[in-house]
Amino acid sequence: MKLLVLPGDGIGPEITEATVAVLDAVSDRFGLGIAYEFRDIGFKTYETHGTTMPDGILARAREVDGVILGPISHLDYPPRDKGGVNISAEFRVKLDLYANIRPARTRAGVPHRGTAMDLVIMREATEGMYADRNMFNGPGEFMPTEDIALSIRKVTARACERIARASFALARRRRRKVTAVHKANVLVVTDGLFLREVRKVAAEYPDVALDEVLMDAMAAHLVRDASRYDVICSTNFYADILSDLASELSGSLGLAGSINAGDDLAAAQAQHGSAPDIAGQGKANPTSLILSAAMLLAWIAEKRARPDLAEAAQAIEGAVDTALSKPETRTADLGGALATAAYAGHLCDLIRQHA
């Protein structure tokens, strides 16, 4: 099995190295034969090639079994026409990775805010309010005059239908409840279209309950009692905000795994950013990208009927749970003392000990 590995910016190379070490451990234990192809992106290639996204990256991504995408510093990139391509957006749109899947759950021993939770936020990732991906040509934001700024939001029936379908299919394997988050009381047309498509899909899943909640109320409900939710389905902007909130409530954004998935390809990507202020210091917590890699294995396992990959994903999850249950085996951001590489090494030991 071949994975394309793109370390990215800031702490990306450090947490990617830690993630590959953990993948090697499960590959050895379960005989997966994982191989890697490493390619540079981001500021490193901007300095050498004048672009953050070199030619051939997307084409190669289509040919491999999966992608490990490290954090990127796209807010600091130059404009797109000067080579500063937002790599996350490029992957999601050009490879049609329409479902940004973001679990959030509390873990034994890890302090959290609010109630216990075990939920998944299904974020539509190819359109919405995001100006860099909602137009065929040109950005979705523009200024007719220096004092007027306009932004266009794109919502299509096709995108709403398929994120809804992915949400209901997932809920059927979990606790059989989908919560659709919207603001149709004021965004009557666009969020109304989203709800129309969600309701159509819901009719095909009579065994899965559908709840509909306004975006502002949803933020309050997550803080008050996140335990009541199973799968949360929403458009790009709302789900982006809610997933960060849920992850922080569950313990830390640094513990939040994430994959960008399409019908035939998926890319693992940490929920957090590139944290350039601590890059190269061995302080970064690699858990988010490690859990994202486990999600990637589980996704491939389901697509290809590979129980060995599913077992490997469970082994990574189990090792993370064990490590996080004790303060002394956590990274500094969670009150521990382990550096990035030492933490990854501990996870590898836990995986091997249970072989």
* Residues recognised as catalytic: 130, 183, 216, 240, 244
Strand 231-234, strand 177-182: pairing: parallel
For residues 13 and 41, what is the distance between their CA atoms, to the nearest angstrom?
11
Task: Catalogue the E-assigned strands of 40-157.
Answer: 66-69, 99-105, 118-124, 141-145, 148-151
User: What's the token pair of residue 58?
Assistant: 């997307």
Residue whose pair of structure tokens reads 């809610």 in the numeric block: 242
Q: How many CA atoms lie within 13 A of 244 on its CB side?
A: 7
What's the residue count for the chain?
355
Q: Which is nearest to 318 in space by CA: 20, 107, 170?
A: 107
For residues 349 and 22, what is the distance between their CA atoms, to the nearest angstrom?
9
User: Which residues face 213 on adjacent strands?
Assistant: 181
Q: Which is nearest to 197 in space by CA: 162, 236, 154?
A: 162
User: What's the token pair of residue 157?
Assistant: 């029936």
Q: Which is nearest to 230 in space by CA: 274, 309, 173?
A: 173
